[in-house]
């Protein structure tokens, strides 16, 4: 053991994650440690859950501890979209457009029952039953609304996920990955029937009617 190593071990308390970066030497480790501790969420709220998100950024909960206090007012400078609130069908194209304007690597956290699955408005004609039908969600935070503590737990979970990723296999760097392609646009109306399929449904119903009559 060299003198330098002895000095480091005896005099300085090095946090475990930093120790890993310094001594285990992986580009992934350094890269992931840096970006997971400096995420920039977008200023973006849809309904009541957004109030809890705003509280989380305030001094009582202090997102600066996680390097996330810099909420950006433009998607071009953000790498985290927190979908906080009820997602209406009218808003979906705008949300997807904002997501597409974010630079990679980018992450999505779905906050609250509405964003996760429609929440109390699930069967409403104007609300989608989960933003994950349109965007790749990384972390879901349950609750109506989730508390700031719950959101912080979700953000820490996202940090853990980022730290386990590899530069070479992270999905956003795969040009032909499953995430590329056309973004579906929801149609207004109850989700029980897809109105775009009305003609097909009508044909199928007529076929059944025919068989019943013949019998």
| Three-state DSSP state, 146 | coil
Phi, psi of 188 (to 5 degrees): -70, 145
CB of residue 168 vs ligand SF4: minimum separation in angstroms?
A: 37
CB of residue 123 vs ligand SF4: minimum separation in angstroms?
A: 14
> Could you tell me which residues come within 8 angstroms of residue 200 by beta carbon, excluding any fewer than 6 positions away?
none
Phi, psi of 13 (to 5 degrees): -85, 110
> Could you tell me which residues come within 8 angstroms of residue 209 by beta carbon, excluding any fewer than 6 positions away?
none
**Nearest to ligand SF4 of 119, 186 (CB atom):** 119
Residue window 73-102: x/- pattern of binding to ligand SF4, with contact defined by CB under 6 A: ------------xx----------------
Q: Is 112 in the site for ligand SF4 (CB under 6 A)?
A: yes
CB of residue 112 vs ligand SF4: minimum separation in angstroms?
A: 3
Q: Is 154 in the site for ligand SF4 (CB under 6 A)?
A: no
Q: Is 120 in the site for ligand SF4 (CB under 6 A)?
A: yes
Residue corresponding to tokens 């390097």:
67
For residues 24-53, which are near ligand SF4 according to CB under 6 A? 47-49
Question: To 10 degrees, the CA torsion angle through 89, 112, 118, 74?
Answer: 10
CB of residue 54 vs ligand SF4: minimum separation in angstroms?
A: 13
Cβ-contact 52, 147 below 8 angstroms: yes
Q: In the complex, which residues of this chain contact ligand SF4 (CB under 6 A)?
A: 47-49, 85-86, 112-114, 119-120, 144-145
């Amino acid at each position: 053991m060299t003198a330098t190593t002895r000095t480091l071990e005896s005099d300085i308390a090095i946090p475990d994650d930093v120790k890993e970066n310094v001594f285990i030497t992986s580009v992934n480790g350094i890269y992931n440690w840096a970006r997971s501790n400096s995420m920039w969420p977008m200023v973006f709220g849809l309904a009541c859950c957004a109030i809890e998100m705003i509280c989380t950024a305030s001094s009582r909960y202090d997102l600066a501890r996680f390097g996330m206090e810099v909420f950006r007012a433009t998607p071009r400078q953000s790498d985290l979209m927190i979908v906080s609130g009820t997602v209406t069908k009218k808003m979906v194209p705008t949300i997807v457009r904002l997501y597409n304007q974010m630079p990679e690597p980018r992450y999505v956290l779905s906050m609250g029952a509405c964003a996760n699955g429609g929440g109390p408005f699930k069967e409403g004609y104007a609300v989608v039953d989960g933003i994950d039908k349109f965007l790749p969600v990384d972390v879901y935070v349950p609750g109506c609304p989730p508390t700031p503590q719950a959101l912080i737990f979700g953000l820490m979970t996202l940090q853990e996920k980022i730290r386990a990723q590899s530069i070479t296999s992270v999905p956003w760097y795969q040009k032909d990955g499953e995430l590329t392609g056309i973004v579906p646009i929801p149609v207004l109306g109850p989700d029980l029937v897809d109105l775009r399929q009305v003609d097909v449904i009508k044909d199928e119903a007529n076929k059944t009617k025919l068989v019943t009559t013949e019998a």
